Structure formats: structure tokens, C-alpha cells
A and B are shown apart, each in its own frame.
Chain A
Amino acid sequence: MAHLRESTDKALKLLRTLPRVQIGNLRPNPNSKQNDKRGRAQHGGDKHGAGNKGSGQRQNFMRLGYETGNQPFYLRFPYEPYYKGHHMRREYPPISMLQLQVLIDTNRIDISQPIDIATLCNSGLMSLKPAELQYGFQLTDDGLDNFKAKINIEVQHASEAVIAAVERNGGVIRTAYYDPRSLHILSNPKKWFEKGLPIPQRMLPPQDAVEYYTDAKNRGYLANPEEISKERLVLAQKYGYELPRIEDDANYKMLTAAKDARQLFHGLEPGWLINLVDKTIVKLKAT
């Protein structure tokens, strides 16, 4: 058996000098790789599955839907343009009343202050993408019967039932328009303050949104305040609840706090510069 041990030793000795088996010195298994070249004539020849004559052989297929002279199927019937102008439509991501109540119950938003987009985004649970044509939040009526908070909230869209649910609890709701640039700022105010730019002015709504935001029934921010207080009463009678008198409320000042139509943040005016590091505000000197 000496010769066997000898050859084993030899093999082990050889193995020590050889490089390790690794990805760099491996080659594919024989016949595991297919040749990607299509041979012509004597080098393979034949049709290679493309057939004889016509589009198949020449690989010049007709355009999609073309039926060689027939009225094509996709043009044969009239259609309804559901998605016409979809690239310009404003999107309002929904927040349900239940979600809002959970945020309040778990102490994620402070109802002793007015609630707006910045409050919702700062909770860390909502986010807004103005670049994807999201123009703010809409309040939806899910869990509206369990809503029991007195709030001053500003959203971008709200249904009648939602408005009634907020006002029944003695709260105030307002719908307001923000242009994409303002939305970008409001979706993360801290990040924007760190850029060190003056606070811009908020733009007025585009033509097709003016009607919504000037209507007192929608509690639009451009509506006549007197009409809004009248509509509050009308809605209370329609839904059959007694409208709480916010004039007598201890939080009257907070509940009626509203931004100017050109204002972005509560209490901060456009043109001011916020310095988070030095905790200073730079204002233009009044002339």
C-alpha cells in the first residue's frame, strides 16, 4: 500500500501549491453555454424558427393593433375618456376621521393648537408628495360617529358629513388651497427652514379650484365669513344637532385662528427669514 500512500501524499502536496478553487478560476460546465450567434448557410443555416417569407422571416412585424386594412378593433367603438387630463389632476390623499382620532388619542397631534398639513406631516405618520401632484389631504367619513374631539383643522377637501361631524363637536373646519411649492415647504418645515430662505407667499388657487374654495358650504378659506356662519347653522339643522357656541368657548381664540390667504404658517409672515441655529427671525425693515 506504500505506492498508494505515496500518490496520496503527492496529490496533497500538489494541492497545497495549487490556487484555491474560487470564482476567478472556474469555467462553465461543458455545453452549458449556448452560442448566441445565428449561423448562416453552411454554418447552421435553415430558418431558425422564423419561417419562410413574410413578416416572420424579415422580422418587420405590423404595428400593434393593425389589422391589414380593416378598421382596427381598438378604433371600432366610441370610448369614454375616464383618464383624460390625468397628468394634471389634483390628488388629495385621504385621511379618515378614525385615523385622526387615533392620532389624537395616541398623543401624536396636539389639539390645543390649530391643525394643518404641517401638523399632520410632523406626526411622522402622514406624508405628502407634492411632486406627484398631491395637493394636500382630504378628510373622509370613516369612523365619523366615533369622532369626539374639538379641533380647529384645515384640510384641502372635506365632504359635508365630515364638516358636520367636526362642527357637532364644537370644532372648526376649513378647506384651503396650497400651491405645490407651499406644500413642499409644509410637508417638512424644519428641513425647509434649514435652507435659510425667506418664507414665500402662498399662491391663489387655479381657475378650476376657485369655485370650491370660495363656497361657504365647503368652508372654503376664500368664502365670506358671514355666509360660513350661516351655513354652519344650516348644516346643524340639516343633520339635527345643536350647534355649540364657539363664541362662549374658552378656546375661542385658538378655534378661530386662521391663516391669511397668502400666508403659509400660522403666526409667521411671508418674507421673514427663520434662523434655527441662532433662533432669530430676520424681517424686512418697515419703510
Chain B
Amino acid sequence: MAGSTKVILNIPRLTGLKQFMRSLHTDYARLSSFRSSSEVKPLEQYPEVEVLHNPPEWKYVERLLPPRTVPQPVEKSEYPSGWQPQTANGEESGYFVARTKNHMVPVYLNTRFRGQRRLTIVRYIQGDIWALERDLRQVVEQARNGKLCATRVNELSGQIHIHGDYVDLLREHLKSKGF
């Protein structure tokens, strides 16, 4: 009996793997908790099993375990989706827009009043927020054919709110600047 032991599975009268598998599907509540499990029977009534330490199939199990943290992006020659890694560190511009934990550019759309008011929100801003606000406003006003654009700066939380839906425009602008 070296290398093989008996493990208690709460299955009454097992004749084969096939029947065991079928019972797993027909009896939903079974084995699900301590209450629904049947009483322990003599060991002879349970199927003989072997416990494998360091089995070659363990790599398939490891593949099914999720990563504990968000993985760092790896450098690639091209990014077909349009996503690109952050390159700027904000030294030349005086301000810095950090990426989110999922490595995305933090530009969001906030809709209120059943979509009647749309606000573009840029978050995670560090450094000279007023310089960034001037830059973004210039970009938006250019897209609006010179019409003025309303902005609001929250210095404390590092956010800029821009009136209107300019999410794609500003995200591409920030990406072109390396943020």
C-alpha cells in the first residue's frame, strides 16, 4: 500500500467513476456542506484513491490561479489596441497625470440629469494643475472652433472637470504627451 491511501469522500456505495460523476450532477445539495453530507461509513466502502505529490499536472492548476496583483505591462514593439505605456515623467511640462491601477489614462465621463449634462473628468493630477488646465482648455476650445469652454479645477483632489464630452479627445491628447 506504499504511496496509496484512502481518502474519505462522502459517497454512498460507489461502483465506479461514472456513477460517481453522475451522482455529482443529480444530487445538487450533496457534498455542498457539512449538513447535507452523509455520515461517515467504513473505509472499505469508499473507492481507493492515490494522493500524488508534485504531480506533472500541477502546472495546469497554477495556470488557473489568478494573479494576486495587477500585472505590470511588458514592453512590446507595437500595441494594436491603441493603448500605450506611460513615457512622460512630467519634468518638462511641470505637471504629471498618473495612470490608474489598471494602467489606463484617467479620463472619465460623468453624466447627470439623464445625460443632459456631460462632464469630462481628468483625475490623478500632480504638480502644476493650473498649467494642465490651460493646456486642456486650449485643446478643447480648438475642437470647439474657438468657442469658450468651462472648466473647474479641484486642486486638493487633483481633478479637472471640463464641461462637455471630450473624453476621447483629451485621452488622445494626454497619450500624445506621453501620460
What residues make up the interface of A, taking CB atoms closer than 8 Å to B? 98, 101-102, 104-108, 113, 118, 122-125, 143, 146-149, 181, 189-190, 193, 197-198, 200-201, 203, 265-268, 270-271, 273-274, 276, 278-285
Contacts and interface: CB of A to CB of B under 8 A. Distances in A.
Nearest to B71: A107
Among B47, B57, B72, B76: residue with most chain A CB under 10 A: B57
Interface stretch (B61-69, B132-140, B144-152, B158-166): B61-69
Interface residues of B, number: 42
- Report the 4 A-B pairs with minimum CB-CB distance, sorted nearest first: A267-B60, A122-B66, A101-B81, A148-B80
Contacts of B61: 193, 268, 274, 276, 281
Main secondary structure of the interface of B (DSSP, over half): loop
Contact of B17 (A107, A181, A271): A271
B175 interface: no
A181 B80 CA distance: 36
Interface in B71-88: 71-74, 76, 78-83
Among A123, A125, A281: residue with most chain B CB under 10 A: A281
A98 B82 CA distance: 9
Nearest to A285: B48
A206 to B, nearest CB: 14
Interface in B12-55: 17, 20-21, 24-25, 31, 47-55
B54 to A, nearest CB: 7
A268 B80 contact: no
B7 interface: yes
Among A125, A284, A285: residue with most chain B CB under 10 A: A284
16 contacts: A101-B80, A102-B81, A102-B83, A105-B79, A113-B63, A124-B66, A143-B81, A146-B81, A148-B78, A193-B61, A265-B60, A270-B21, A274-B61, A280-B51, A282-B49, A285-B48
Contacts of A98: 81
A280 B50 CA distance: 10
B70 interface: yes
B7 A181 contact: no
A105 B76 contact: yes
Nearest to A279: B58
A280 B80 contact: no
A122 B83 contact: no
Given A189-B65, A200-B24, A273-B7, A285 B82 contact: no
Main secondary structure of the interface of A (DSSP, over half): loop
Given A105-B73, A281-B55, A190 B48 contact: no
B81 A201 contact: no
B171 interface: no
Nearest to B62: A279
A282 B51 CA distance: 4
A2 B61 CA distance: 89
Given A147-B80, A278-B53, A284-B49, A266 B63 contact: yes
Contacts of A285: 4, 47-50
B157 interface: no
Interface in B104-140: none
B121 to A, nearest CB: 21
Contact of B25 (A105, A189, A201): A201
Contacts of A101: 80-81
A279 B53 contact: yes
Contacts of B59: 267
Contacts of A146: 80-82
Contact of B65 (A190, A266, A280): A190
Contacts of B54: 279
B169 interface: no
Given A102-B83, A198-B24, A271-B20, A189 B64 contact: yes
Contact of B48 (A113, A118, A284): A284
Contacts of B73: 105-107
Contact of A106 (B17, B25, B47, B83): B83
A281 B52 contact: yes
A105 B81 contact: yes
Nearest to B59: A267
